[in-house]
């Protein structure tokens, strides 16, 4: 068995080296630039007890193909195409294909220019990047790429990163267009400021301000999501010895109206504490988005939803009463297979009105450097099926989702 494993690994290394060199046009140092290749397949099943909808089934392949230029006088460029395609017979509602009799799986068949940017690093410890680009700030709760969806979110922006000060990273920028995960484009104006400071052996302190204005977009409902958010977070790990350590995070943000939106103010809290021991990481946490009525909730229109709002994607918008997510998670890697699980308990921001509970599981395996396979499951149990939670994308129903997929990334 050891001999077979060693032989397979050696063969995979040889194949990887050959492919990597070919994508660099036969050069080891990529002096002519390099081709970037990312192929991902996923099957998704979405089933709920909603009597008006049939289960959704999607078999989809997504390809990204790009070219990264060599660095010349501090300048570098990147262009990337992205396409998403059904494979076989599919029965699901993308939100754009008109199949409204099925549950919604928001991965439409689309082809698009995913990234097209130029960066400059001619100034010491500074990078300026302009064009359509991937932006991932901190844990992506407020501005992120939504990489879970087949078509990720990218932005037309100017971003400047500087690390001149000791232990400090400063990100400043301006976003004027958002290419969403359904391939639609929204015109926005978003000044961005994010400053982080690393404290050795303790953690990272971050302060930020994001001003999101949809005033140029004709969609009045979308324009109501305009907001200004200011906040700070602190997270880190602390090892007691080789076997035992602590993990922790605390974050607070304040949000109020901006641009076209109705006057309001709302708060955000996220507190995490956990322990790592014998390869396990166990966490307990509470995340709360405040709500005070229609169009007066704490919203994160450019942030990740799937990662933070439950894998069943029940809370894709903040309910009018806000929500409080009290959750626990367990992570463990066994023979290279990573296991992740969550238990979530949902209520409004006062914890007086209970919404439901959710259980999530995922198995993921990276192998031969460029390959990955995974299986994922989410189950949301509503307190009362068909309950209308004002502000969400619909009524709350028992919901189950299953995913199986894999990817190749060079």
Q: What is the 3-state secondary structure (H, E, C) of 352-394?
A: CCEEEEEEEEEEEEEECCCEEEEEEEEEEEECCCCEECCCCCC
- What is the C-alpha to C-alpha distance for residues 399 and 378, in angstroms, rounded to an integer? 8
Given this model, what pLDDT does residue 224 score?
86
Of 46, 153, 68, whose CA–CA distance to 110 is shortest? Answer: 153
Of 305, 247, 254, whose CA–CA distance to 271 is shortest? Answer: 247
- What is the C-alpha to C-alpha distance for residues 36 and 44, in angstroms, rounded to an integer? 26
Q: How far is CA 110 from CA 47, 81, 204, in A?
A: 24, 11, 39
Contact predicate 288/349, CB 8 Å: yes
Contact predicate 143/164, CB 8 Å: no
> Distance between terminal CA atoms of the chain?
28
Write down the pTM of the prediction: 0.93
Q: Does 297 or 2 have the greater pLDDT score?
A: 297
Q: Determine what percent of the chain is predicted with pLDDT higher than 70.
A: 95
Of 269, 271, 305, 272, whose CA–CA distance to 290 is shortest? Answer: 269
pLDDT in tens, 326-364: 999 999 999 999 999 999 999 999 999 999 999 999 999
- What is the C-alpha to C-alpha distance for residues 295 and 17, in angstroms, rounded to an integer? 53
DSSP string, 2-64: HHHHHHHHHHHHHHHHHHHHHHTTT-SS-TT-EEEEEEEEEEEEEEE--TT-BPEEEEEEEEE
Given this model, what pLDDT does residue 220 score?
80
Contact predicate 235/272, CB 8 Å: yes
Given this model, what pLDDT does residue 157 score?
98
Q: Is a pLDDT exceeding 90 seen at residue 42?
A: yes
- What is the C-alpha to C-alpha distance for residues 254 and 289, in angstroms, rounded to an integer? 10
Structure tokens at 128: 């300026």
345 CB-near residues (< 8 Å, 6+ apart): 325, 326, 327, 354, 357
- What is the C-alpha to C-alpha distance for residues 340 and 87, in angstroms, rounded to an integer? 28
pLDDT in tens, 354-394: 999 999 999 999 999 999 999 999 999 999 887 777 665 56
Given this model, what pLDDT does residue 394 score?
65
Given this model, what pLDDT does residue 89 score?
74
């Amino acid at each position: 068995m050891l001999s077979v494993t060693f032989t397979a690994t050696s063969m995979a290394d040889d194949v990887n080296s050959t492919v990597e060199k070919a994508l660099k046009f036969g050069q080891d140092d990529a002096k002519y630039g390099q081709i970037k290749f990312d192929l991902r397949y996923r099957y998704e099943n979405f089933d709920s007890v909603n009597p008006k909808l049939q289960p959704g089934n999607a078999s989809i392949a997504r390809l990204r193909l790009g070219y990264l230029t060599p660095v010349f006088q501090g300048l570098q460029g990147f262009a990337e195409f992205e396409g998403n395609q059904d494979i076989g017979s599919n029965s699901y509602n993308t939100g754009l294909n008109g199949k409204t009799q099925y549950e919604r799986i928001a991965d439409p068949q689309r082809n698009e220019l995913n990234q097209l940017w130029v960066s400059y690093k001619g100034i010491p410890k500074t990078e300026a990047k302009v064009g359509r680009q991937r932006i991932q700030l901190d844990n992506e709760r407020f501005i992120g790429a939504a990489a879970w969806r087949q078509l990720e979110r990218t932005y037309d922006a100017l971003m400047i990163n500087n690390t001149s000060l000791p232990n400090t990273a400063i990100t400043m920028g301006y976003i004027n267009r958002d290419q969403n995960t359904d391939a639609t484009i929204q015109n926005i104006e978003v000044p961005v400021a994010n400053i982080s400071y690393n404290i050795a052996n303790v953690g990272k302190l971050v302060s930020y301000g994001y001003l999101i204005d949809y005033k140029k977009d004709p969609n009045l409902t979308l324009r109501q999501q305009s907001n200004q958010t200011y906040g700070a977070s602190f997270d880190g790990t602390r090892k007691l010895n080789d076997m035992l350590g602590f993990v922790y995070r605390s974050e607070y943000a304040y949000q109020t109206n901006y641009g076209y939106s109705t006057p309001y103010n709302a708060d955000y809290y996220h507190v995490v504490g956990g322990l790592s021991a014998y390869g396990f990481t166990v966490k307990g946490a509470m995340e709360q988005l405040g709500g005070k009525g229609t169009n007066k909730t704490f919203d994160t229109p450019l942030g990740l939803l799937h990662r933070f709002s439950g894998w069943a994607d029940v809370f894709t918008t903040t309910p009018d009463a806000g929500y409080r997510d009290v959750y626990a998670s367990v992570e463990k890697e066994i023979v290279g297979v990573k296991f992740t699980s969550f238990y979530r308990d949902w209520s409004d921001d006062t914890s007086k009105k209970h919404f439901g509970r959710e259980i999530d599981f995922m198995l993921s395996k990276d192998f031969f450097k460029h390959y990955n396979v995974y299986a994922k499951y989410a189950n949301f149990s509503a307190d009362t099926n068909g309950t209308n939670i004002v502000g969400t994308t619909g009524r709350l129903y028992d919901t189950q989702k299953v995913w199986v997929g894999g990817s190749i990334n060079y």
